[in-house]
A and B are shown apart, each in its own frame.
Chain A
C-alpha cells in the first residue's frame, strides 16, 4: 500500500466539496484525494431534472472544474467505487482491486434510488434519476415518448413530470400518499400544487401504488392496487432514495438507515467522518439530542460537509452541527414553493391560501419552527437563521405575523448583520 493520503473523501458532490473547502481553509497543503463513482466532474443530483428538460447542458453542470481542483491540490479519481472500508489498517478497497490508505476518511457517498418491490418491475426497462447518466438517458428517451408513467410524487417525480408534460408527453403520476410532495408541504400547499399540475394536463393517481408491471410490446403496462391499468412508453421510478451503505459491510462503522454521526460528523470509527445524504445526524427539533435523522437536503449536505471538513482538519473554529432543519424550495410552472422547518413542531399561527398564494407560519410559543409559502415573499435563509438561533419573536410577534419578510429582516439587522 502506498503512502496513505492525509484526507480521503469518498463522494464528490455538495457534502464532499464543502468538506474539501473547509479542510483547505485550515490545511492548505495536506494531501487530499477525492473518489467519485461518476466519470463526470463533480455535479449535483439536484440539477438533474433540468438536464432532463434541456435547461442545463451536461457539459455545464460541473460544480468545480479541473483547474480549480488542481488549485486546491485535489487528486480526483473518477469512475471508481469504494467496495470496502477497513478501519483497522485505515484503508479502502476500490472496484479495481486497488487499496488506498488514508489518515482521515469522509464518507459522502450520498444515496441511491429506492426501487420498490413491484412484481415484474425488474423485467422491464424503466428509468431512475439520480446520476448524470440517468438524466441524459431520460432526456434522450423523452423524444420518442407519447405517454409516461411516473412512480412517486416527490421532488424528482414532480420535476420530471413537469418536464415531460412540457415536452408534450401525456403524464400520469402514481403516488401512494394521498397528496403530492407529502414530505415537503402540508395538505393545503399540496392541493395548490396538484391543481397546477392537473390544469397542465397531468393525471394524478394519488393514494395508489403499483401492484404489477409488465412489458406490453415496446410499451410498459402498470397495474395499480385498484386494478386499474396504465400503459405508457416510459416508466420513471422516483419513489425516494436511500443511503449508499453496502460498501460498509464488515467495516464496523455503526449504521442505522444511514451512517450514524455525532455533532462533529464523526462516525463510530476513529478517523472516519460522514456527511450529506449518507449520514444520519442530529435532528434539530428532537428533544433527545441523541435522535438521528436523514435530512437528505442539499443545504444540509453543505452544512454537514463544512462541519466534517473543519473537524477533519482540526480547525479550532469548528462550530458543531446544530441539527438538521428541513429546507426545501420547489419551482414548478413558474410558481415558487418554499418550506423552511417543520409543520408539526408547533402551532399554526397564520395560514392563508388563495389566488395562487399560500402562507403558513408555525410557532412554538414565541419561537418560529416553520414557515411555508407559495409565491409568498420571504427570505428562506433569514428564516432558517431565526429558527436555528431560536430567536424569541415575542417582542415582534404581531409585526412578524403581518409581514414576515420585513420583520425578519429587522430581526436580522438587530441580531447578526
Chain B
C-alpha cells in the first residue's frame, strides 16, 4: 500500500492525485463527519486506513470506532445517528453480507447514514476483485444507491450524499458505490474543494429526523408495529408508504443537490442519468460505474466511423430514474445494457431488467440486449464495447430483443 500523503492544512481548493478510496476519505473529512466506524475488507481497506490516518493526524475531527466486524460497523452508526451524529463507513462483498441484518433495517429507521460500497463480486467462487454483485444484491432494501464513474465523482458524490440523505423530504441512507480495483485503486487527478466552500454547500446536520434517542425528549424507537387488528396494520402501511414517498422525493432532491454543487463548487456531475452523444442516436448503450469511461471511448470511435450510437450512464440507480432514463433514450431503436453483475432468476443483468421495466412507460418499444461483463475484476475494454455496439446495432436492424452476451467469456 502506498504511504498516505500528509495533507497540508488546506484552506483553498487544490489538486492532488489519488485513488478513489483516498478521494472518499477526503470527502468524509470535508463533510465534517462526527463518527466513523471501520472494519477493513479488500478492496475497501485503504479507505479506512486513510480515515484512521486522517483522524490520527487531526485532519478529521471524528470519533473513529474500530469495531470487530461489519455488523457492528453499521450498528454503531445507527446508534450514533439516533443520537444526532453525521456518520460514515464503507464496506463491500462479504462485509456487506455480514452487515445485512442492520443494513436491512437502516432505511426503515430513516437514518441518513452514508456508506461507500467499494464494489466487489460476491462469493462463490472465492474472489477479492471488483464487480457490482454485492451492491446489486441489496438494490431492493430501500437504500439510495449512487454509482460513480470517476475518482473525482467519488469525492464529490460522497459529500453530496449527505445533503441528499439528510434532506427533510428524504431521510434515507445512501450508498455511494465505486468500483473495486478500477476506482478504489485507480489514481487520477482530483480537485479538492475548499473546506469553506464545502461548509457552504453542506451545513451541520439538522436534527430533524423523526427517530431520535435523547433523554431530553424521550421516545421509543421502533415499537412493535403491525399484526392483525388494531391500529398496527394501517400504521405499518403508513411507514412503508412513507419510505416509498421518500425514495421518490429523492429523485428531485438528488437533482437539486447536484445543481447546488455546480453552483457552489463549480463542478457539474450528472444527477440521475448521463446522456452521452445521444444527439441523433439510432441505438445506445446503457452503462453504470467506471466501465462508462471505456464505453464512451468506444462510442466516440464508432461515431468516427459514422455509426449513430450514443450512451446513457446511470448514476442514480435507487431510486430508479425511470422518466430521466426514458427521456434520454427517446428515439433509439435498440438498447444494449451493460451490467457488471447478474440477476440469477432472470439470467440477465439487473440494470437490464430495470431498463426493460422503465421502457414500459416509453412511447416506442426499442429492441434490447443484455451484456454482462467485468465480473470479479475482469477488464471491460474498448474492444468489449465495440463488440457490444456491433451487436446492439445488429439488434436495431433486426428489431428483435432478448439474449444475454457474456462479454468476458472469450477473454484469454
Q: Do chains A and B touch in the complex (CB under 8 A)?
A: no
Query: Which residues of A approach B to under 8 Å, CB–CB?
Result: none
